Amino acid sequence: MAKIILLAGHAKLPQGMAAKSVYETLTITAEIEEKYGVIVDASCTLATEHAQEYLGRLLRGCSLQDGVEELVTRIQTYYHGKAQQALIAAVKDLHRQYLHYRERI
């Protein structure tokens, strides 16, 4: 059975976001297959369930071992909401958290 870890990346939300009334930061949580760094599932603290599920589908299948560029490109290409830059910052933080995890094991 594959070992799955859970990591989170954080970023500040821009002004005027619906989620800002509930959260100060945007959080992306991801279930990551440990051996290859593949995102099995992901969610975030965007305001709507639809946006949360969409982001999960968007990030699923990317490997954090390959770096963060593919994740950033997917967000820039397919997510056109106000939180785009916060999502990019959060996936970059998620990648940093993954690298820290890999250093510890």
Burial class (CB in 10 A: 0-12, 13-18, 19+), 26: buried
What phi and psi values does residue 89 have, to the nearest 5 degrees? Answer: -65, -40
43-72 pLDDT per residue, tens: 999 989 999 999 999 999 999 999 999 999
Domains assigned to the chain: 4-104 (3.90.1010.10)
Indicate the pTM of the whole model. Answer: 0.90
Q: Is the pLDDT of residue 102 over 70?
A: yes
pLDDT at 17 (0 to 100): 58
Q: Give the closest residue to 7 by CA, choosing from 24, 31, 23, 25.
A: 31
